[in-house]
Amino acid sequence: MSHPIMSRSKDEGFVFSIIILTLTELVGLVGLVGNGIILGLLSSRIHRNNFSIYFLDLASADFLFLCCHLVIVIPETLQQHFSFPHYVYDSLLALRFFFYTVGLSLLGAISMEQCAATLWPSCYHRHRPPHTSAIVCALLWALCLLLHFLSYGTCGELSGGNAGIVCSQIGLARVALLCFLLVMMCVSSLVLLLRVECGSQRRWPQQFYLITLFSVLTFLFCGLPFGIYRLSLNWMKIPPHYYCLSILMACVNSSAKPPIYLCVGKLRRLRFREPFKAVLLRALGDEEELGEGGEILDTGPVEV
């Protein structure tokens, strides 16, 4: 016969898991719709400015992360009440953290490049290679893919978790990559904010650094706990409540960027009924395509 206190504790934990699961699914579905809209709008304007490819890849990483997250969160949250094929479960775990790392890497690249564009605007526009954004995005995807193939395919979840010196080194490399990206992202965002606010000349569109600042803050408060949970999972015991909150916050992090674009694009605008496409173009710096009333002009392709 089970103790009534223990039984009540299990019931409360189950109810808490159901609440977190429901909120995660609802937020994730909204995020899928928002990132899907961003993908549809940016796919036809990928060469409008230097950052369009970054935002397109970032939306792709967030969209794919949410696709894996909304599926894997069900057996993760209801481990004692829901069975899932082991190989599918491990594959989704690997893919989810892969897209998470790609999103973090892209956000770090965006913040660092915007910092360089603000500190050295003349040198940046004069000496920047025309395909830097595409090359950087391709390298980041390839680097994250290589690191996760080594981690999950060689000594991680997909191989049964065989321990060894190589596996420890790969785990340390993942932690080092996360710490490096966090430091560079925070430093570049802080320098960007101080430069734009304290400088006498504001050469770079203000919407860009607002988007970067809000995206970085959202990741630090919402996305970082999930990364800490995943990287420390094999080294320490994680409290269940921290785990549940981390998966919900990770979903919020990947779903928050479209609302950020919308809010930034509407700053200092008195018109409330405006197409989302026009608001997005304004937020991403494509105001040359907008007429005085906010309508979208067909100006043709723009060379970067």
The predicted-structure confidence for 278-290, as pLDDT tens digits, reads as follows 777 666 655 444 3
Q: In residues, how long is the chain?
A: 304
pLDDT of residue 81: 64
d(CA 37, CA 110): 20
CA R_g for the chain: 21
Q: Where in the chain are the domains?
A: 4-289
Fold classification of 4-289 (topology level): Rhopdopsin 7-helix transmembrane proteins (1.20.1070)
Whether the per-residue pLDDT at 299 is higher than 50: the answer is: no
pLDDT of residue 57: 93
Structure token digits, residue 242 = 């921290």
| Tokens 């894996």 belong to residue | 68
d(CA 101, CA 147): 10
- Whether 150 and 170 have beta carbons less than 8 Å apart is answered as yes
The predicted-structure confidence for 180-200, as pLDDT tens digits, reads as follows 888 888 888 888 777 766 754
